[in-house]
Structure 1
């Protein structure tokens, strides 16, 4: 991530400050509804879901606001967690620092669901991600879902309203990819994300013991009249840009790819 010309690591105070007010329109359109819908099981205060790599708490807030889950929200960045506690405190969310690999305080088969949003793409360490995926498998109850949402490697270089994962026309192997992100005030920051092929994502999951996942289909939003679109002229233009991109190639250009795995003897949906 950069602020001006200075590169920032995700676990720094400056990064947490820079990420405090991102433009969340794509997440609001694509990730949040998918998370609430595809977790599947009836929520309740006795049902525990993990928000793994919670950052500033955006997904955790959705889970308790729309789904009424009890949430343990985990992150490797103490500064991100401080921001989450300040901006998105809730009595059913406990924010906790962890090492990105293990959750030793949780017993086998003790968790009713897990969500991991835009985490794998920010971590360059394959060994850490493999350990994390295996640990999520360990703590999930049989039949409990793991929902993984990340940047879609099939859309590098495609500009959306709030992000562009990689440079237009560039090809990438596994490795670092610059990703400009838009803030709500219209300024941008650039994060250093990490490109991995879909096969690499599948291997993380299957090597941890999950069945082979099937990605959720890209869902283009229904067209609305211009009068019904949000905000002013700039917001409507950004909304139209996303609509157009999502409809290209039959919806194959969704910038955010979602996979839902069901633990152990369950099935993939």
Structure 2
């Protein structure tokens, strides 16, 4: 996974500080680049024009924001609660127009209704309560002009029985309650695994929360490996057998429009 730090409780959490930012930047994220980000970009491309403003809320080290700018031709702005993450992003994500810090739940330097679209990748997993998640959704709604799209990528916390190519969700046989702390193991670029503590947000709860945060026309999609063959990097598609991803795709795209 490449995003997710912007919603950390009390702006801290597993990826806080310089060491956390460096560890996060070393996550391999193959499953996300197959079944996640290409579908986020596809959903945005239907409503986002060239040179329009796209905010990546929870941009982390900026890899996804940088790729979005190159694929979509949009003016991409990355925001995050972590100054250390933003420092990495500024040095590597050269296609991103600018970066802003999230402080006390508000994006600094961005006015109301400035964005033509917002994407948010894996941020809910860092949030322990519905109040915190609704706070993030409210801030995203503040940034969006009416009718603009919001695309959210999350991992299904029910996908605990399979070992995916670059992630392990929870513990086998365990069912997690709403917001409950849940382990997530992520493959690093050096081949080692890193475990972080996430929070379980059932994907069927997200539309309810989005509607309460003044979003409409909420829809969800669970991308498959067959669908990814037409969108993802062909080299990545052919690199792994994707056995678990084919059996039970673990990622869900939730799309909505600002009311």
TM-score when scaled to structure 2? 0.84
Q: Max radius of gyration: which structure? A: 1
CA RMSD of aligned residues (A): 2.3
Show the counterpart of 2:6. none
Q: Select which of 71, 77, 94 maps to 1:66.
A: 71
1:173 Cα offset (Å): 0.9
Show the counterpart of 2:49. 43
1:187 Cα offset (Å): 0.8
Work out whether residues 11 and 76 of structure 1, in 8 Å CA contact, stay in contact via their aligned partners in 2. no
Q: Distance in 1 between matches of 2:227 and 2:40?
A: 19
Q: Select which of 70, 80, 89 maps to 1:84.
A: 89
Show the counterpart of 1:103. 107
Moved over 6 A (4+): none
1:49 Cα offset (Å): 0.8
* TM-aligned CA distance change 1:261 to 1:196, over 3 Å: same
Counterparts in 2 of 1:7-156, with a 5 A limit? Answer: 9-39=14-44, 40-45=46-51, 47-90=52-95, 92-99=96-103, 101-103=105-107, 105-156=109-160
Number of equivalenced pairs: 240
State yes or no: 1:263 paired with 2:255. no
Q: Distance in 2 between matches of 1:202 and 1:9?
A: 26
Work out whether residues 32 and 62 of structure 1, in 8 Å CA contact, stay in contact via their aligned partners in 2. no
Show the counterpart of 2:196. 191
Report which structure shows greater RCO (CA 8 Å, sep ≥6).
2
1:230 Cα offset (Å): 4.7
Partner SS for 1:184: coil
* TM-aligned CA distance change 1:100 to 1:216, over 3 Å: farther
1:95 Cα offset (Å): 1.5
Show the counterpart of 1:178. 183
Work out whether residues 111 and 140 of structure 1, in 8 Å CA contact, stay in contact via their aligned partners in 2. yes
Alignment gaps of 5+ in structure 2: 1-12
* TM-aligned CA distance change 1:15 to 1:256, over 3 Å: same
